[in-house]
Amino acid sequence: MRYAMAVDTKKCVGCSDCVVACQTENNVPHGFCREWVVETMNGTYPQLEIEIRSERCNHCINAPCVRCCPTGASHFAEGGIVLVEHNKCIGCGACMASCPYDARYPHPDGYVDKCTFCFHRIKIGLAPACAAVCPTKCIYFGDLDDPNSDVSVVLKKRKSKTLIPEAGTKPQLYFLI
């Protein structure tokens, strides 16, 4: 099993619904977020292009955060999901420094926190909160080992990319372009 997520940049409008749905679902304290929206623009008026991306932890196969965690708090869970065990985390921040995507934040309660792909939801068959709420349905989630999962189907059909592939982290967050 290999969980992955694909975000359709052609449909995403950057409304940040994913951000706030994640915050309420996971009780993320105000002022912090587990996901965020990036907009990049190219060209000069009126020849312009924008790409809008809903970003979060890339749940890398070769995750530097897991490798550098001194206590084993950062670990791989079922399906390759990268999780932080709050009780084991000492808040040293090594993982934050090692992450090329800046996907982690220091929770005021003293541990490092980040996207879990809503592990508590997917365990009971629900989609991650961001994918469930997105008004444009631009977030696809599922098991890459299952050729019929939403994410497998859409990745087969569409051109996609990952962010900072040169870091060699083998990210599992794809962007449809």
Partner 1 sequence: MTNRRQFIKISIAGAGAMTLGAGALKAMEWISKPENSGKITVDLKRTPTYCEVCFWKCAGWVYKTSEGKIWKIIGNDEDQHCNGRFCPRGTGGVGMYYDEDRLKTPLIRVKERGKQVFREVSWDEALDYISVKMKEISSKYGPESMALFTHGSGSAYFTNLLKAYGSSNIAEPSYAQCRGPRDEAFLATFGEEVYSPEITDIRDTKCLVLIGAHIGENMHNGQIQEMSDAIDKGVTIITVDPRFSTAAGKSKYWLPIKPSTDIALLLSWIHEIIYNGYYDKNYVEKYCSGFDKLKEHVRDFTPEWAYGITTIKPDLIRKTAKEMANASPAVLIHPGRHVTWYGDDTQRVRAIAILNALLGSWGRRGGFYRPAKFNVPSAKIPKYPEAKKSWTDAFPGKFPIASSPVSNALIDASIPENKPGFLIKGWIVNATNLVSSIPGQANTLKAIQNLDLLVSVDTMPMEITGWADVVLPECTYLERYDMLRISPHRKPAIALRMPAAEPMNSTRSGYNIARGLALKLGLESYFPFEKQEELLDWQLKQSGSSLEEMQRIGVKTNAREADDLYFAENENVSFPTDSGKIELYSKAFEDAGFDPLPKYVAHEEPPEGFYRLIYGRAPMHTFGRTSNNPNLTDLMHENSVWINPKVSKEWGLVNGQYIRLKNQDGILSDFKIKIRVTERIRWDSIYMVHGFGHGQKQLKRCFGKGASDTQLITKVLVDPLMGGTGMRSNFVTFVTEKSEKEVAS
Residues that bind partner 1 (CB under 8 A): 10-11, 13-17, 19-21, 23-25, 30-31, 33, 41, 43-46, 48-50, 52, 132-138
Q: Which is nearer to partner 1, 47 or 166 (CB)?
A: 47
Q: Which is nearer to partner 1, 18 or 60 (CB)?
A: 18
How long a stretch of residues is the chain? 177
Min dist CB 21 to partner 1, Å, is: 5
Contact 74, 84 (CB under 8 A): yes
Alpha helices in the chain (DSSP H): 17-25, 64-68, 94-98, 119-122, 129-133, 150-157
**With 0-12 CB in 10 A as exposed, 13-18 as middle and 19+ as buried, what is 157?**
exposed
Min dist CB 22 to partner 1, Å, is: 10
CB atoms within 10 A of CB 2: 17
Min dist CB 123 to partner 1, Å, is: 18
Q: Which is nearer to partner 1, 13 or 97 (CB)?
A: 13
Q: Which is nearer to partner 1, 61 or 154 (CB)?
A: 154
Min dist CB 41 to partner 1, Å, is: 7
Amino acid at 141: F
